[in-house]
Chain A
Amino acid sequence: MTNTSTINAASTADRGPPAWTRWLDLGDRALAVVLLAPAAILLALIIVYPVLRLGYTSFFSLSLTSGLPAEFVGLENYSLMLDDPVFWETTWNTVLITLITVPGALLVGLALALLANLPFGVQWPVRLSLLIPWALPLSFAGLIFAWFFHSEYGVVNDVLMRLGFEGIIWFNSPNWAFAAICLTIIWKTSSFMALIILAGLQTIPRSLYEAADVDGAGRIRQFFEITLPLLKPSIVVALIFRTITALQTFDIPYMMTGGGPGTSTATLAMYIHQNTVSFLDLGYGSALAVVMFALSMCVTAVYLRAIRTKE
């Protein structure tokens, strides 16, 4: 990657007056508009317009089950949220899932990547093992792991009992259910982490380690002084993408526990879905969605910052 910038710089520097530059000068702006138009139209249609509608609706009392027409209520939906215990619980669950599964996936992913970077004679089974969890649809993963953690027929309890422990009724207790969900999410997401970190590992020049060997640095020091710092850019990007998707967690708890027992494993995305699709309280649901949007935007802002500082 380092030679890229020099080539770019060089090509900019000796950009003489060949015939094509005139075309470029004339067309740069217009061309940009043409090239970016498809993306802009699609995003406007699928995201911007619906988000604006959500924002607008969030200021109205609009519940389809009330039989009443929409009525402007200002910030009432937002103030309702403040003393809605389920809102706080689901938000807290979402934050907790993020705080547990993002570092969890990073650690597991790092370990998997380091293992996968070993010089195996046959590479494809290792790669396949990293790619399968990533390519498995979230809804499939939720179903499969719900079955894994089943108290009577699940393989997890079977293993526990074979090891002499007592089986756990996973979905009967908020803590165990939460643990099962987090484990599933970590399993599902760590392999993509691992792939990105593996990609980073393979770009680290071997000569750096050889030099460190000459200097007499131990393996552990090499890891912390060479591997980790050089991996930092890939890790940061992977972390931020993961954080944004963790805030949106829906499929896995939806499939595994449906939010139970009680509402102890429900996430904000599930609560929004429930308010809009099941309860048809579009005003309140929209306000919740706006809050979630704000949460995602905070993380996105951090992300954009990270990219900026890199440039």
Chain B
Amino acid sequence: MSAVAASGFSGLFSGRPLRLLAGAVLIVNGMFPALWILFTSLKTEAELTAKPITWIPHAPTFANYMQAFSDQPLHLFLFNSFMVALLSTCLTLFISVLAAYALARLNLRYRGLILSLIIAVSTFPLVTLLVPLFEIMRTLNLLNTWIALVLPYTVLSLPVCTLMLVSFFEGIPRDLENAAMIDGCTRMGALFKVVVPLCAPGVFTAGILAFVNAWDEFLLALSFNSNPSLRTLPVGIQLYQGEFAFPWPVISAALVVGIVPVAVLIVIFQERVVSGLTAGGIKG
């Protein structure tokens, strides 16, 4: 520990109180908005509009949570968001593992060009493609299905994941693959039995990126899946507010319900996400 503390910038913060201060800054910056919403979700509407505003709820109530679940099918929103994010994560990983392998291993002549195309094509803002995309989904009869969202969400994460995986794959010695193939594996067998497991941290990080991207999206979900039982969370949350109502405490409760699953996911996997990034993947 002391060796680390002595190095570079951290030397400035070698004292314990200063380090605690640094930690406090980080935690307040990262957590405060989520905490504030948690507090708001425990207040009554009367307390919320009281002046001066209160920080900690005076009489915490769970009524807003009950209402969040009874006003709208919040559990369905959660389920849809989860399934759409999960499916698009799987699809993203599958497609980008294949593409990244081709780009990392096959000595393609146009490798640079293909890589550039994948990136270039994916930087187009989906917002502007709303109407043509809607027409495509309607033609394919995919409106009001998870697939209508899974496909564009996959595109959203494809470039970043492919890039990460290319650099991870390049870090795996070819000899390992060769050995597997000599043992009778096919090339694809070697990819999935040797390369992917060895790149697990990278694949994992890519997966989390894809999941969060899909969990985030609002506009397409709003437009493509209008059936109430197929709505995702970011869209569902909007339904609590309206022209004639803006029930902040209930919205906050729904927001908290929406934040918790991702927070749990992150608490469980945080070490892997950071180590995955550390392994150099994101550096392209």
Contacts and interface: CB of A to CB of B under 8 A. Distances in A.
A and B touch in the complex (CB under 8 A): yes
Interface of A: 1, 4, 7-8, 11-12, 18-20, 23-24, 27-28, 31-32, 35-36, 38-39, 42-43, 45-51, 53-54, 112, 114-120, 123-141, 143-145, 147-148, 152-155, 158, 161, 187, 191, 195-196, 198-200, 202-204, 206, 209-210, 213, 219, 222-223, 226-227, 233-234, 237-238, 241, 244, 247-248, 250-251, 269, 272-273, 276-277, 282, 285, 288-289, 292-293, 296-297, 299-300, 303-304, 307-308, 310-311
A45 B132 CA distance: 10
Nearest to B167: A1
A300 to B, nearest CB: 5
Contact of B36 (A47, A119, A155, A293): A155
A227 B11 CA distance: 13
A304 B128 contact: no
Contact of A119 (B10, B34, B122, B170): B10
Contacts of B170: 4, 8
Interface in B210-235: 212, 215-219, 233-234
Contacts of A304: 116, 119-120
A273 B49 contact: no
A311 B237 CA distance: 45
A229 to B, nearest CB: 13
A75 to B, nearest CB: 19
B102 A31 contact: yes
A143 B247 CA distance: 12
A53 B132 CA distance: 7
B34 A136 contact: yes
Contacts of A36: 98-99, 102, 114
B155 A46 contact: yes
B164 to A, nearest CB: 11
Given A36-B99, A116-B26, A269-B127, A297 B120 contact: yes
Given A36-B114, A115-B25, A199-B274, A237 B283 contact: yes
B178 interface: yes
Contact of A213 (B6, B160, B173, B233): B6
B200 interface: no
Contact of B160 (A54, A241, A247, A276): A241
Contacts of A210: 7
A134 B5 CA distance: 27
Given A28-B107, A49-B132, A219-B11, 4 more contacts: A49-B136, A144-B37, A187-B29, A219-B8
A138 B128 contact: no
Nearest to B34: A132
Interface in B1-44: 1, 3-13, 19, 22-23, 25-27, 29-31, 33-34, 36-37, 40
Contacts of B218: 137-139, 251
B66 interface: no
Contacts, number: 312
Contacts of A222: 8-9
Interface in B236-284: 237-238, 248, 251, 255, 258-259, 262-263, 265-267, 270-271, 273-274, 277-280, 282-284
A143 B175 contact: no
B133 to A, nearest CB: 6
B123 interface: yes
Q: Report the 5 A-B pairs with minimum CB-CB distance, sorted nearest first.
A: A129-B30, A50-B132, A289-B128, A199-B277, A35-B102
Contacts of B120: 297, 300, 304
Contacts of B30: 128-133, 191
A282 B129 CA distance: 11
B135 to A, nearest CB: 8
Nearest to A141: B33
A42 B151 contact: yes
B64 interface: no
B270 A131 contact: yes
B248 A147 contact: yes
Nearest to B54: A158
A53 to B, nearest CB: 5
A292 B128 contact: yes
B130 interface: yes
- Name which of B33, B52, B107, B116 has the most chain A CB atoms within 10 A of its CB: B33
Contacts of B265: 135
Contacts of A308: 112
B6 to A, nearest CB: 7
Contacts of B52: 158, 161
B58 interface: no
B171 interface: yes
Contacts of B6: 209, 213
B23 A120 contact: yes
A264 B80 CA distance: 36
